[in-house]
Amino acid sequence: MESNLIEWVENAPSPKKLKEEERKMVRSILGFSDTLIREIMIPRIDLTAIELNTDLAAAAETILASGHSRLPVYDDEIDNIVGILYAKDLIKYYSEEHAEPFSLKSMMREPVYVPESKKAGDLLADMQLDGIHMVIVVDEYGGTAGIVSMEDIVEEIVGEIRDEFDNAEEIPIEELGPDVYSFLGRVDITDVNETLGTHLSRESSDTIAGFMYTMIGKVPEGDEIVNVEDWRFTIAELTGNRIRRVRVERRSEDPESDTEEPNEQEATH
C-alpha cells in the first residue's frame, strides 16, 4: 500500500497533483516509520544534563541557559540517568514556600528508556499513547546513547522541507566538486560507502563521525586527516567535541603533490 501511495503522490493527474512541498512531506512521513531512533536522537555528546545533587540556583541557571523545557537528571555519570526535570516544575517550586531543603530527587519525573534500535514510528505511537515528551535512548550495553523528544520527531517529519533561505550546510551529503564531498557527521557509513565506493566497516561505528573518532583515537581539535583507500577524510567542522562535518576528497595520484600533513594518518578500514 505504501508503494502505491508513493506512486500516486509522484504521478497524480494535474487537478489532484500535489505541490513539491506537499510531496516532500508525504515522502518524509512514509519513510519515517522505518527510521531508527538512533538516527534522530540528540547524541550523548551534545546532551545538556543536570547532576542529581545540583542546588536550586544552579539547576535553574542550567535549564534557562539550555533553552529547553526538560532536561535529563543523572546520578554521578551520564550513563546513569535517573529522572527528567521539567522547567515548569522548577518555576512552580520557586512560587511556593517550602519547609524542606530543595531536592531534585523529589521534583524530577520518572524517565522512560528505549533501545536505540527501536523504530521511530513505533516510538511516536508509544509517546502519543502514554503522553510522554522525552525518552532516554540506551545502547546495547545499557549506557546512555542520547535522548529523543517529541520535538525531535516532529522535526524529523517536517525537516526535509527546504526553501531558498535554508542553510546548505544542513544537507547531509553535498558534492562540492569533482571527487570532493562534504558529509554531516551523522551520515551513515553505508551511505558513505555508496557515495565513494569505499568499504568502511560498521563494526566500530555507524556514522562517519564515529568512524573518524575511532581512527583518530582522541578528542578531535579540528583539521585531523585520515587517509582511507583512495580518499582523504578531513574534519571540517566541530561543535564542542562533536564532529559536525567531514570533508572527503580523492587523493592525488601524484605522490609529490600529495604530501603528508602532521595531523594525517593512514587507515586500513
Tell me: the pLDDT tens digits for 57-72? 999 999 888 878 899 9
Q: Where are the beta strands (DSSP E) in the chain?
A: 42-43, 50-51, 70-74, 81-86, 113-115, 134-138, 144-149, 173-177, 180-184, 225-228, 231-239, 242-250, 264-267
Grid cell listed for 197: 565506493
For position 225, what pLDDT does the model report?
A: 95
pLDDT along the chain (269 residues), means of 10: 46 50 56 78 89 93 86 94 93 83 91 92 88 92 91 68 46 92 89 93 78 83 91 89 89 62 56
For position 5, what pLDDT does the model report?
A: 42
DSSP three-state, residue 14:
helix
Among 113, 65, 60, smallest CA distance to 85 is for: 60
Structural domains in the chain plus CATH codes:
2-32 (no CATH), 38-157 (3.10.580.10), 170-267 (3.30.465.10)
Query: pLDDT for 196-205, tens place per residue?
Result: 999 998 776 7
For position 26, what pLDDT does the model report?
A: 55
For position 239, what pLDDT does the model report?
A: 74
In angstroms, the CA 232 to CA 179 distance is 11
In angstroms, the CA 72 to CA 85 distance is 6
The pTM assigned to this predicted structure is 0.56
